[in-house]
Amino acid sequence: MMRLFATAGLALALGMPLAAHADDTADKVAVAKTLVDKTILKTLDTGFAGALEKTVAQMPEDKAEKIRKDARAEFDTQRKGLLEGISKHYAEKFSLADLKHLQGIYDDPIYQKYQAINADPKSEINVISQAAVTRLLNMLSLAAAGEQKGGIPGQQQMQMPK
Indicate whether 128 pLDDT > 50: yes
Residue 73: inside a domain: yes
Residue 116 confidence (pLDDT) = 85
The pTM for the full model equals: 0.61
Total domain count for the chain?
A: 1
Residue 99: inside a domain: yes
Residue 161: inside a domain: no
Residue 45: inside a domain: yes
Of 30, 75, 88, which Cα lies nearest the Cα of 48?
75
Its domain, for residue 33, covers 23-107
Q: DSSP state, 148?
A: H
Residue 16: inside a domain: no
Residue 124: inside a domain: no
Residue 56 confidence (pLDDT) = 93
Of 97, 140, 111, 121, which Cα lies nearest the Cα of 39?
111
